[in-house]
Amino acid sequence: MVMGPSVEFGSFRTKSAVELAEPLTNDLRELFSNTSLPLPKAGESLLSAYLNLLEKWSKRINLTGFKSRVKAAEGLLFDGAELAGQLPEGTSILDVGAGAGGLSVAALAFRPDLSASLVEPRLKRAVFLKTVRRELGFHSNTF
């Protein structure tokens, strides 16, 4: 996973979504402490930024049925964290029917050496995934 730098426009600098993400709450930290891998600090910021985007977009379109960040993390991210612990170094994930992309985002947050290709046939979710890639600083060869 390659995180993009913040963007500079003229004399001011904007911060990336990952830089702006608030720390994970204690209940989310506890959830991810139950996985087979430790969550790197950069991965924590990435997951928090992803949950922010998911929450923001879910107000406009139905991406998932989850009503809270904790439920979304349990339902979308936990399996990706567990998957990351089972893959050999440098593995490339093909996520067909990616939905909101939680499985792949979590795997990449826990294991920066992985890459992922996401396939999503539903236009709204595909547009969301492009936003996730752009806002979280994934390069097209990573996500």
For the entire predicted model, the pTM comes to: 0.81
SS3 13: strand
The residue type of 81 is A
Q: Hey, what are 63's tokens?
A: 């991406």
- Give the whole-number percent of the chain exceeding pLDDT 90: 45
| Per-residue confidence (pLDDT) for residue 83, from 0 to 100 | 92
pLDDT at 143: 72
Bridge partners for 115 per DSSP: 92
pLDDT given at position 31: 81
Extract the tokens encoding 110.
Answer: 């826990």
pLDDT digits (tens, 9 = 90+) for 75-98: 989 899 999 999 999 999 999 999
pLDDT confidence band for 54 (50 / 70 / 90): very high
* Mean pLDDT confidence for 67-74: 87
Closest CA to 99 of 82, 80, 121, 78: 121
**pLDDT of 112 over the 80 cut:** yes
